[in-house]
Amino acid sequence: MGDLLAQAWIVARKDLVLEFRTRTALLSAVVFTALVLTVFNFGRDPTAVATIDLAPSILWVTFTFAAMLALNRAFQLELENGALEGLLASPLSRVSLYWGKGVANLAFVAVVEAVGLPLFVLFFDVPVGSVLLPLIGVIALATVGFVAVGTLFSAMVIRTRFAELMLPVLLLPFLIPPLVGAVQVTARLLASRPLSESVGYLKLLAAYDIVFVSLASVLFRFTVDE
Amino acid sequence: MSLAQRGRRITLVGLVLLAGVYVRALAYTPMERFQGPAQKIFYLHVPAAWSAMLAMGLVGLSSVLYLLLRDARFDRFAAASAEVGTTFSLVMLTTGPIWAKPIWGTWWTWDARLTLTLFLFFLFLGYLLLRSAVAEPGLRARYSAVLGICGLVLLPFIHLSVYLFRTLHPQPIVLKPSSPSLPGDMLITLLLSFAVFTVLYVGFVTQRYALSLEREAQGSGDVGRA
Amino acid sequence: MLQAEGLRHTFGRVVALDGVSFSLRPGQTLAVFGPNGAGKTTLLKVLAGLIRPQAGAAHVSGGRRAIGWIGHQSNLYGHLSVRENLDFWAALYGVPAARRGPRAAEVLGRLGMTDRAEQPVWSLSRGLVQRAAIAKALIHDPSVLLLDEPFTGLDFAAAAELRALLGELRGEGRVLVLATHNVDEGVELATDVAFQRRGRFVHCAPRGERDAAQIVEAYRRAVTDG
C-alpha cells in the first residue's frame, strides 16, 4: 500500500510540475470559468428570479464544465512522445497510475474552483461567509466524484476519434448524481438551513465517491493494458 | 438452422404473441376506471422499460465476463444487447409521454423513473458512440466493457439522486412488498406482455449477434460494430 | 536471461506473432529483421509486457525492473529537462533517491550529454532526443534492453555512435533485442540473427562466422521467396 501511494505520488508530482511549467492549460481553465460565470450573469433575467435561487445551479454548472475541460487534458499529456507507453513498460502499478493522475486532476480542478468560488461570490453577491467551511466540504466531495470517473474515462477517450467530444458525452450522465447532491446541499447551505437537512444528499455524495473510486481503481487497468 | 434464421423465428413468434397480447389487452381486459383507454398503452410501455433494463443489466454482466474471460462472444453479445436496449428505451420514451399527456396533463416531467429511463437511453447512446469511435476490435471491446460496467453501477445512483426529489410516477405495481395492487385480469395481461417482450428481446439480440458474426466473417474485422 | 515460448498474437485477422520461441543469455544480442508489418514491434511489446500474448509466454528474469525500453518514440516529457526526465523515470524504476543524481550524471556522461542536462527535451534535435531516450532506458541499469528501430532518423555519424554504445552495453553482459527493417544497420552488433515474416521467425540462428553481406543475402532470400 505504501509503495502504491509512493508511486502514485511520483506520477502526480510529475504532472503538477508539468502543469505549473506550461501553465497554459491551467490559465485557460481559470479564464474559461470566469467567462462561464459572466455568461450566466447575462443568461438570466435579474428582475424575474432572485440570484440566490439560481446561485447553486450557476456555481455547479460552471464547476462541471470546468472539470470536464480539465479532465480532457489529463491523458493528453501522456501522449506526447508516447510517454504512456513508457509508463506501462515500467514497474509502475496501474492502480498507482490511476491514483497519480487522479490526484493531479484533483489539484488542477481544485485550483480552478479556488479561483471560481470567490469570483462567484463577487459576481453574484452570494453570502457564503458563515457557511464557507461546509461549502468547501461539499465542493470537495462532489469534485472527488467528478475526477474519479473523469480520470478513468479520459484514459479511454484519448485513443478514440473525436476525443474532445467523446468525453463530455460519456461523462455527463455520470456527473448527474454528484451534481444533484452538490446543488441541493449548496442551496440549503446558502439558505442557512441546518446541515441535518442535507444528510441524505451528503450520504449520496459520499457513497458515490467510495463506489466510483473503488470501481475505477479496479477497471483502470483494462483501459491501458492490452 | 443458422443463428440468423433462429433469431428471425424467435422474433416472429414474439410479434405474433405481441399481437395476441394486444387483442387480449384491448378486447378482454377491463377498462381502467380512472384512466380509460389511455391506460392500454401501459401494456407496451412497462414491458418495454423492462426489456431495456434487462438489456442494460446483461450489457453490464457480459462486460464483466468479457474482462474476466476475454472471449469475443461476450463483447458481441453486449453490443447486440445495447443496440436492442436502445430501441426498447426509445419505445419506452415515446409511449410514456403519449400516456402522460392525458393522465398527467404534460408530455414530460422530471419524475424519478422518467429521468432514470432517459439516462438509460443516454447511456446506451454513449455506449454505441464509444464503440463507433474505436477502430481496433480488442480496444473497442475493453473500452465498451469498462463503460458498460460503470453504466450499470451508475443507474442506482441516478435513481437515488432523482428519487430524493418528489416523484409523480405511479408506484411500482407488480414488485411491491405488499401484494400486487392491480386487478387480476390486468395483471395477467401485463405479465403476458412482459413474457412477450422478453421473447422479442431474445429474438432481436440473436439476429443482431448473427449479423456481427456475418460481418466479421466478411473480413471487415469489425467485432460488434454498428 | 530472456525467454520466449510459443508466442502468438493477432490483431483481428492480422497475425503479428506466430509461434515465436527463443532464449537469450547475458551478452547475447538478437537482431530481428523483417519488413514493415512483420510483427517486430509486437514482439518487443510482448517481451516488455506491454501486450499480453494470446498464446505462449515471455519471461525476463527480474521482470519489468530489469528491462530498458526504447520504443519508436522517446517516452520523454518535452517540458521537463533531460535531468528531470531521468529523475522521474529513475524514481518509477525504484532507484533510491540518493542514487538518482549520481546515476543520472553517470548515464549522461556516457552518452556525452552532460552539458545538455538542463535543457528541456522539446529543444533537443532528433539525434539528441534519441540519446536522451537511451539514457532514460539505462537509468536503472537494466540487464535487458529492448530497442525498436533505434536507428531511425539518425544521421550517419549518430548511427555509428549508437552502434558503438550498444556494442559496449553488450560487452557488459546485457541482453539486447534489436528490431529493424534495415539489415545493414545493426547486423554487426548481433550475436544472433532472426528474420521475421508475417509473425513467424523464418530464420533464427547464431550469426556465427557470417559477414554482413552474407546475412543480407540470406535475408533477401528468406523474405522474398514463397
At what angle are helices B112-133 and B72-104 packed, to 10 degrees? 150
Is the per-residue pLDDT at B170 higher than 90?
Answer: no
Q: Where are the domains of chain B?
A: 3-215
User: Does B147 contact A170 at a Cβ distance shorter than 8 Å?
Assistant: yes
pLDDT in tens, A32-44: 999 999 998 888 7
> Between vectors from CA B4 to CA B3 and to CA B9, what angle results, nearest 5°?
95
Distance CA B143, CA B66 (A): 11
Average pLDDT of chain A to the nearest whole number = 91
Q: Is C122 on the interface with B (CB under 8 A)?
A: no
pLDDT in tens, A84-96: 999 999 999 999 9
Contact A57, A51 (CB under 8 A): no
Is the per-residue pLDDT at B177 higher than 80?
Answer: no
The whole-angstrom distance between C52's CA and the closest CA on chain B is: 12
- Give me the residue label for grid cell 480496444: B139
pLDDT in tens, C11-61: 877 899 999 999 999 999 999 998 888 899 999 999 999 998 999 999 998
Is the per-residue pLDDT at A159 higher than 90?
Answer: no
User: Does C11 contact B219 at a Cβ distance shorter than 8 Å?
Assistant: no
pLDDT of residue B171: 55
Q: Which among C74, C76, C79 has the least Cβ separation from residue A21? A: C79
Lowest mean pLDDT among B1-5, C111-115, C135-139, C195-199: B1-5
Residues of A in contact with B122 (CB under 8 A): 172-173
Distance CA B156, CA B168 (A): 19
- Give me the residue label for grid cell 530481428: C32
pLDDT in tens, C130-141: 999 999 999 999
* Residue among C67, C84, C160, C169 at smallest CA distance from C119: C84
Confidence band of B181 (pLDDT split at 50, 70, 90): low
Lowest mean pLDDT among A118-122, B76-80, B136-140: B136-140
Distance CA C37, CA C187 (A): 20
pLDDT in tens, A92-115: 999 999 999 999 999 999 999 999
Q: Is A162 on the interface with B (CB under 8 A)?
A: yes
Joined grid coordinates for residue C32: 530481428
Contact C26, C43 (CB under 8 A): no
* Residue among A143, A97, A111, A133 at smallest CA distance from A4: A97
- Give me the residue label for grid cell 509502475: A92
CA A84 to chain centre: 22
Distance CA A172, CA C224 (A): 54
Strand C192-197 relative to strand C29-33: parallel, antiparallel, unpaired? parallel
Query: Which H or E run includes C67?
Result: strand C67-70
pLDDT of residue B166: 53
- Give me the residue label for grid cell 406482455: B193
Q: Is B138 on the interface with C (CB under 8 A)?
A: yes
The whole-angstrom distance between C50's CA and the closest CA on chain A is: 6
DSSP letter (8 states) at residue B70? -
User: Which chains sit next to A, with 3 or more Cβ pairs under 8 A?
Assistant: B, C
Confidence band of B173 (pLDDT split at 50, 70, 90): low
Q: Higher pLDDT residue, A145 or B9?
A: A145
Distance CA A192, CA C67 (A): 60
| Share of residues in chain C with pLDDT > 90 (%) | 61
Q: Higher pLDDT residue, B219 or A211?
A: A211
- Residue to test with chain A: of B143, B152, B167, most A Cβ within 10 A: B143
pLDDT of residue B167: 47
User: Does B219 contact C13 at a Cβ distance shorter than 8 Å?
Assistant: yes
DSSP letter (8 states) at residue C120? B
pLDDT of residue C157: 86
Confidence band of B172 (pLDDT split at 50, 70, 90): low
Q: What is the mean pLDDT of residues C115-131?
A: 93
Q: What is the mean pLDDT of residues B29-48?
A: 76
Query: Which H or E run includes B44?
Result: helix B42-69
Contact C30, B155 (CB under 8 A): no
Lowest mean pLDDT among A19-28, A210-219, C67-76, C208-217: C208-217
User: Does C88 contact A14 at a Cβ distance shorter than 8 Å?
Assistant: yes
Is the per-residue pLDDT at A137 higher than 80?
Answer: yes
User: Does B138 contact C11 at a Cβ distance shorter than 8 Å?
Assistant: yes
* Residue among A162, A57, A208 at smallest CA distance from B126: A162
Cα-based distances in Å from C77 to A76, A99, C49, C127: 12, 19, 22, 16
User: Does A152 contact B161 at a Cβ distance shorter than 8 Å?
Assistant: no
Confidence band of B176 (pLDDT split at 50, 70, 90): very low
Is the per-residue pLDDT at B224 higher than 70?
Answer: no
Checking C88-91 for CB contacts under 8 A at 24+ apart, the result is C88/A10, C88/A14, C89/A86, C89/A90, C89/C136, C89/C139, C89/C140, C90/C139, C90/C140, C91/A10
Distance CA B184, CA B46 (A): 17
Is the per-residue pLDDT at B168 higher than 50?
Answer: no
Residues of A in contact with B161 (CB under 8 A): 176-177, 180-181, 204
The whole-angstrom distance between C209's CA and the closest CA on chain A is: 35
pLDDT of residue B225: 44
User: Does B157 contact A208 at a Cβ distance shorter than 8 Å?
Assistant: yes
pLDDT of residue C17: 93
Contact B20, B195 (CB under 8 A): no
pTM: 0.90
pLDDT in tens, B106-162: 788 777 777 888 999 999 999 999 999 998 888 999 999 999 999 999 999 988 887
- Looking at this predicted complex, what is its ipTM? 0.92
* Residue among C75, C54, C60, C64 at smallest CA distance from C23: C60
User: Does B164 contact A180 at a Cβ distance shorter than 8 Å?
Assistant: yes
HSE toward the beta carbon, residue B83, CA cutoff 13 A: 20
Q: Is C64 on the interface with A (CB under 8 A)?
A: yes
The whole-angstrom distance between A184's CA and the closest CA on chain B is: 10
* Residue among C133, C155, C125 at smallest CA distance from C85: C133
Q: What is the mean pLDDT of residues B183-211?
A: 85
Is the per-residue pLDDT at B219 higher than 70?
Answer: no
Q: Is C50 on the interface with A (CB under 8 A)?
A: yes
HSE toward the beta carbon, residue B14, CA cutoff 13 A: 21
Say which amino acid occupies A71: L
Query: Which H or E run includes C209?
Result: none
- Which are the contacts of A84, defined by CB distance < 8 A and separation ≥ 6? A75, A78, A224
Quickly count: other Cβ atoms within 10 Å of residue C63's Cβ.
10
HSE toward the beta carbon, residue B77, CA cutoff 13 A: 18
- Which are the contacts of C214, defined by CB distance < 8 A and separation ≥ 6? none
